[in-house]
Every structure is written in C-alpha cells, then in structure tokens.
Amino acid sequence: MNKQQVKRVLISTVIAISGGALAQDDVHWGYSGHQGPEHWGELAPEFSLCTSGKNQSPINISATTKGQLPTLALNYQASGNEIINNGHTIQVNYAPGSYLDIAGHQFELKQFHFHSPSENTLRGKSFPLEAHFVHADSKGNLAVVALMFEQGKENQELAKAWSQLPQEAGQKVRLATPISGLNMLPSKHDYYRFNGSLTTPPCSEGVRWIVLKNAVSASKQQISDFSSLMKLPNNRPVQGINARLIVE
C-alpha cells in the first residue's frame, strides 16, 4: 500500500465511523448506477471487501441458534446533540459518555443514523426505516445496535431531530433539544446477535451486530420526511450469511 492508499483507507475509515461527511472529497459512492452497491468493491482498492467479504451486512435474519444472550447493558445519556446530512444519511452525533457493555467490554456510543427502507430484514420482512447506533471500543472495534421502525404513531424522540433536519448535503446543525437514544428504543431489548460489517464502503468486517427484535413506531410523515430528503433508498441489499451463526 502506498502513502496515498494509506491516506485513503484512513479517510474511508473515518468516513465509515463518522458517517461519510468527507466522502464527497474522496471516493464517490452511492446507492444507484455505477456508484451503487453492486459496484462498491470496484470503486477503490480499499473497498474490495464490499465484493469479496464473507461476513457482510446487512442480512436477512431467518435461521437462528438459541443461545444464552446477556441482557443488553445500555448506559446512555440524553446527549445526541448535533445532526448532520452527509449526503448518504442523516446522522445524530453523540457527546462522549454513553456506553454499551458486551460481556464486560465497553463500547462508546458515537452516533446514530438512518436507512430507508431497512437494511436488515427479519424473516424476509423489510421495515420502512432502520436506525443504526454505532459504538466503538478504545481500540476502534465497532458494535452496532439496529432498531426497526414501523409506520404508526409519531415518534416523539425522532421528532426532536426531524424538526431540525438539515436539508442540504454537508449541512450540520446543533440540536436545540438533545436526543435520548434510550428513549428511542423499545422497552424490551431482546435481540439477535451476529458478526457483520459496515453497510457502507469500505464494508470493513469484525463489526458486532445487535438487531433489536421489537420495532418502534414512526409516522408516515416522519418516514417520508427522511426518504424524500435522501431522494433514493439508502439501503444496501442483504448479503450472504455464509458460515455465520445468528444467535437469539
């Protein structure tokens, strides 16, 4: 890898974690045509896992293995305080100090962002909206908690963010009312657990995925506010399960 490639990998990794604010300046990718998901692996050498990876996300969750999964240990503050339109999604950045604990291992909540329709599917069922709560440990290992939304009554927590939706790609807005990630989640935290990847280039693997079984609601208007802002669906198609186990 030459110096330029190293720089590109670093930038891409930062993009993946921060959600893509720099993507426009680096390798262009999107959700349709020549820059669409089926071409991501060809767009840049550092995106090759998007094609060759064997533990890619999202997936359709169907055959599962019963396991003794621990209760989801979330210690979240109400400190989602900044909202960004990065051209690929809407992302709420979180202030430091909120954690997910997996078997005694701490992952800090960095941000959450949205996909419409959902990326993961549950026994073939797609949802109109999916949120990804992205966490990183001190070494940069990632854990994502995925939350499905069904169309129904207005989501009050989402409304705080949606009232300040940045309309232009590249726009960043300070939220008047901090958002509680915890208040957005359902009261029951039962989940599916499996290994996967980032669902955007560079499709890096080794991501711990936790998909909540219970959906929450968002209104028809809230869903369409997001999808019309994105203009195109921003969901990567489901990927092969290969040798993976999905534990529930």
Residues that bind Zn ion (CB under 5 A): 132
Shortest distance in whole angstroms from residue 230 CB to Zn ion: 12
CA distance 141 to 133: 14
Output 44 or 198, the one with its CB closest to Zn ion: 198
Output 132 or 160, the one with its CB closest to Zn ion: 132
CA distance 205 to 59: 13
Determine the residue with CB nearest Zn ion. 132
C-beta neighbour count of 172 within 10 angstroms: 13
Cβ atoms of 199 and 40 within 8 Å: the answer is: no
Shortest distance in whole angstroms from residue 147 CB to Zn ion: 11
Output 19 or 41, the one with its CB closest to Zn ion: 19
β-pair type (129-136, 105-115): antiparallel
CA distance 236 to 234: 7
CA distances from 236 to 9, 36, 40, 130, 220 (A): 21, 9, 10, 12, 22
Shortest distance in whole angstroms from residue 203 CB to Zn ion: 12
Residue 115 is a catalytic residue: no
Cβ atoms of 94 and 112 within 8 Å: the answer is: yes
Shortest distance in whole angstroms from residue 199 CB to Zn ion: 5
Output 131 or 246, the one with its CB closest to Zn ion: 131
Q: What residues contact residue 176 under an 8 Å CB cut-off, 6+ apart?
A: 160, 163, 164
Of the listed 88, 115, 132, 135, which one is catalytic? 88
> Catalytic positions, please?
88
